[in-house]
Amino acid sequence: MKKNLLKNAAVQSLIASLLCIVLGLLLGFIVLLFINPSGAGEAILAVVKNFWNYSRANLQAKNFGNTLVKTAPLLMCSLSVLFAYKVGLFNIGAAGQYVVGSCACLYAALAWHWSWLPCLLLSIVVGGVYGAIVGLLKAYCNVNEVISGIMLNWIGLYTTNMLLATVKEPTSPYTLHLKTDATQAMLPTLGLGKLFSDNGNVTIAIPLAVLIAIAIMVLLDKTRLGYELKATGNNKNAAKYAGMAEKRNIILTLIIGGALAAMGGAFLYLTDFEQWSVTQSSVPGMGFNGIAAAFLGGLNPIGTIFASYFIQHITSGGAFVDLSKYSSQISDLISSLIIYLCGFVLFIKYAINMGIAKSEEKAKQKAAAADEKGGAK
């Protein structure tokens, strides 16, 4: 019975993901040991504990809220990656789509004083258009989506920096605070903030992201569109043979993917939890972490909800590492090590299957040996 359970694909995914997490923590621990053995145990514990590092309940709740605030955009990015992946496309451009989404909503909020809903919708449209560029290039010019995606990531970053420089604080590289300059554009909290000891950044973005994850699952599994898109992803030729509009499907997929990632940007910046720095010279990691979250979640929309949370939990937890013992980059290093290991889910799954085959073999040999002995008597 136990054997059968292990052979179940869903159970395997879960075990593989958990193993990845453990391995990632272990690797992080080893690296910490090398740098400074005296604080390694404490440091890794601090990362895992994240908001529990605070002893006061209200601070715990507030920081739990903060982790959730950043989980929502990550979840959106990983849904973007996952969705495209199911259709056979690797949407590395999610990172750039996230960036232009952030740009669109911030600019509309600060320059035009739009309220939150139109800001959010603008992000979605801009992200969709940005995704469509990749889709059009792929469908009509056969340009690999990874190449064009990476290029557009950079184009997006610098365009954003340029545009948002017009709405930044005069004395810093950061964009203006919505709280002070554009309250109308803040996402409504609907009283959710109260649950996290008045954390004003906890907004409808969080439940919305979860709902969208469920919607994506329904779309993929239950609808005609999902059937078509997955068929295209699994066997392009068969999809063509069956009269599916292959080019349209590729473009549509990247439009949806772009819209999802861009919505992620809006889900973060319309909470005013962070300000955009117009001097940043690397594409934010949110989209890339989305790739890890998608795989860690077993490429299942519900799985990615938990995976995104976990990755954000570790990332936020990194801030609690004792900086008197380690340099300030350590938190990023540890969380990226763990995220890196998350990409090994498929490999671990394979290892599990090999393990099962081997142990069955052994059991068989034992049984055979026992038989022979029995026969000899």
Partner 1 sequence: METPYAIEMLHITKRFPGIIANDDITLQLKRGEIHALLGENGAGKSTLMSVLFGLYQAEEGVIKKDGKEVTIHDPNDANDLGIGMVHQHFKLVECFTVLDNIILGVEPTKHGFLQKDEARKKVLALSEKYGLQVDPDAIVEDITVGMQQRTEILKMLYRDNEILIFDEPTAVLTPQEIDELMKIMKNLAAEGKSILFISHKLAEIMAVADRCTVLRKGKYVGTVETAKSSPEELSAMMVGRNVNFHVDKKPAHVGDVVLDIQHMTVASKTHKKDAVHDVSMKVRRGEIVCIAGIDGNGQSEFVYGLTGLEPLKSGTITLNGKDISKASIRQRSTSGMSHIPEDRHKYGLVLDYSLEDNLVLQRYFEQKFTDRIGFLRRDNIRKYADRLIDEYDVRSGQGPVTAARAMSGGNQQKAIIAREVDKDPELLVAVQPTRGLDVGAIEFVHRKLVEQRDAGKAVLLISLELDEVMDVPDRILVMYEGEIVGELDPKTTTQEELGLYMAGAKRDEVKA
Applying CB under 8 A, which residues contact partner 1? Answer: 222-225, 227-228, 230-231, 234-235, 237-245, 357, 360-361, 364
Q: How far apart are CA 124 and CA 229, in angstroms?
A: 21
Q: How far is the CB of 362 from partner 1 (least distance, A)?
A: 11
Return the number of the residue (165 or 363) whose C-beta is nearest partner 1.
363
CA 374 to chain centre: 57
Return the number of the residue (3 or 179) whose C-beta is nearest partner 1.
3
Return the number of the residue (198 or 360) whose C-beta is nearest partner 1.
360
Return the number of the residue (332 or 371) whose C-beta is nearest partner 1.
371
Q: How far is the CB of 361 from partner 1 (least distance, A)?
A: 7
Return the number of the residue (186 or 231) whose C-beta is nearest partner 1.
231
Q: How far apart are CA 155 and CA 177, in angstroms?
A: 25
Q: How far is the CB of 221 from partner 1 (least distance, A)?
A: 9
CA 214 to chain centre: 15
The two structure tokens encoding residue 217: 């699952």
Exposed / middle / buried, residue 244 (Cβ in 10 Å: 0-12, 13-18, 19+): middle
Return the number of the residue (238 or 323) whose C-beta is nearest partner 1.
238
Decide: 266 and 77 in contact? Cβ < 8 Å. no
Of 283, 299, 262, 315, the closest CA to residue 68 belongs to 315
Q: How far is the CB of 297 from partner 1 (least distance, A)?
A: 19
The two structure tokens encoding residue 149: 């995606």
Amino acid at position 81, single letter: V
Decide: 108 and 118 in contact? Cβ < 8 Å. yes
Q: How far is the CB of 241 from partner 1 (least distance, A)?
A: 4
Q: How far is the CB of 338 from partner 1 (least distance, A)?
A: 31
- Residue 284 Ramachandran class (φ > 0 left, ψ -120 to 50 alpha, else beta): beta
Helices 145-164 & 94-111, crossing angle to 10 degrees?
20
Decide: 176 and 169 in contact? Cβ < 8 Å. yes
Q: How far is the CB of 85 from partner 1 (least distance, A)?
A: 14
CA 131 to chain centre: 17
CA 95 to chain centre: 10
The two structure tokens encoding residue 207: 């439940």
- C-alpha dist (Å) from residue 209 to 116, 200, 202, 214, 374: 16, 18, 12, 9, 62
Return the number of the residue (12 or 275) whose C-beta is nearest partner 1.
12
Return the number of the residue (183 or 234) whose C-beta is nearest partner 1.
234
Return the number of the residue (145 or 228) whose C-beta is nearest partner 1.
228
Of 74, 126, 132, the closest CA to residue 104 belongs to 126
Q: How far is the CB of 292 from partner 1 (least distance, A)?
A: 24
Return the number of the residue (65 or 226) whose C-beta is nearest partner 1.
226
Q: How far is the CB of 90 from partner 1 (least distance, A)?
A: 18
Q: What is the DSSP letter of 277?
A: B
Q: How far is the CB of 360 from partner 1 (least distance, A)?
A: 7
